[in-house]
């Protein structure tokens, strides 16, 4: 990724909006771009928004039991 010094960042949290069905290809491209320096920790998609969390490989032994959750909010998720 241009402008990102991979040696100084511990984690990268990257989000997209309206990524749709292209999210799988986008995530693969993201992993290719960051190379072997970062490992996929977690990702979550809800409607048109996707967030991906990557951790530098030096943190591999410090991360465990990573969990994700989401709560649908917005105009069409309200119950009457």
- Quick one: DSSP state of residue 18? S
User: What pLDDT is attached to residue 67?
Assistant: 85
Residue 37 · residue 16 · CB < 8 Å: no
Q: Where do the structural domains in the chain lie, given as residue ranges?
A: 1-59
Residues of the chain with pLDDT under 70: 1-7, 19-21, 74-80
**Tally of CB atoms within 10 A around 29:** 11
Output the pTM of the full model.
0.71
Give φ, ψ of 32 to 5 degrees.
Answer: -65, -40
- The whole-angstrom separation of Cα 56 and Cα 72 is 30
Burial class (CB in 10 A: 0-12, 13-18, 19+), 37: middle
User: What pLDDT is attached to residue 33?
Assistant: 84
């Amino acid at each position: 990724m241009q402008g990102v010094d991979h040696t100084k960042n511990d984690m990268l949290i990257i989000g997209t909006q309206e990524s749709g069905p292209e999210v799988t290809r986008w995530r693969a491209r993201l992993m290719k771009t960051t190379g072997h320096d970062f490992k996929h920790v977690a990702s979550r998609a809800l409607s048109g928004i996707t967030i991906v969390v990557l951790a530098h490989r030096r943190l591999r032994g410090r991360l465990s039991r990573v969990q994700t959750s989401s709560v649908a909010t917005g105009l069409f998720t309200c119950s009457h």
